[in-house]
Structure 1
């Protein structure tokens, strides 16, 4: 598991890098927001562990620019900002998980590994495919509308990938839950509906409709 650790506190960075390396992770650490973006682009990490308070660019700016560029690596935000408002902002910007300081190292490791399980093995990536004007690009991991990258959170991306792999066929809520929320036993099945709702709004002008088939699940349908 390749981890990009973005933390500007030298003591915290050293502790996390040493501890997570001992637990079998390949850790690349940096302390600056702009450098983090560059390492993210070139290093192809499996998971990003991102602090919010950074020099150069803060963590939310790093996350926003990465998502806009089509980088869909799962992200766990690690910060002393523990308010509900900060958590909502982070998740809406495209984070997958959020752990306030202070934290338990065992819990941190468990959350990182849960995020890592969302990524397919390198030799078992999904093929590139298209539905209407939407195109999934295997090499970048992004979904395009025409030549524009769709700005999706990793959960929205996972759900849309699953539906694009079976165009015109319904995918059950249970199957989507397994793909979008792997290993997250404390999340209810209804959470899939929230992701569907947000994704449906983002598909509004693409010519592709996300339909609900009661009792069967969800499917993609092209107009015309």
Structure 2
């Protein structure tokens, strides 16, 4: 029997595949993605991380017990104390200085997805927030594993190999499993009507994440 999260994916299979197998992802895998597209994506991803940190701050507020508060706090600290610094360093390696990142305006795609996540959390509960975040947290892990499995993927000489390895690596995959465990435990307790509402949140968040890839291709 499929897990509750697999049910969410199955109910939104077209959107999930369009996101996970987007042209941006395919070009990333075979190394043909224009460098300008990747730099634009990286720059916007910096702004995304800032809003992601706000989302985990909201998760702390929406938590109902100490274990959930701790989970949200650890995720918030990981982004603010570690991930943003690593991302700044990675951007610098691609010729994007921190001063440039600090002065960037959010693209429409960045605004759309991040504010959707925050609105889902504000208007709903902690589960709504996690479901809205799932295309990012779980999706990136699945995408990296999918890339590795494709015969067209180029490893040697691929300028994006480090990005692929980061999300396919043991550390990130452990985070994905932890998030899946959390989601499946809570999704298994909801009734069909609630599951359908969450499926809508998941569908819309997945569409907006696909738009984030498209933003990189369009340089918009």
TM-score normalised per structure 1: 0.30
TM-score normalised per structure 2: 0.31
Q: Greater relative contact order: 1 or 2 (C-alpha under 8 angstroms, separation 6 or more)?
A: 2
Could you say which structure has the higher helix fraction?
2
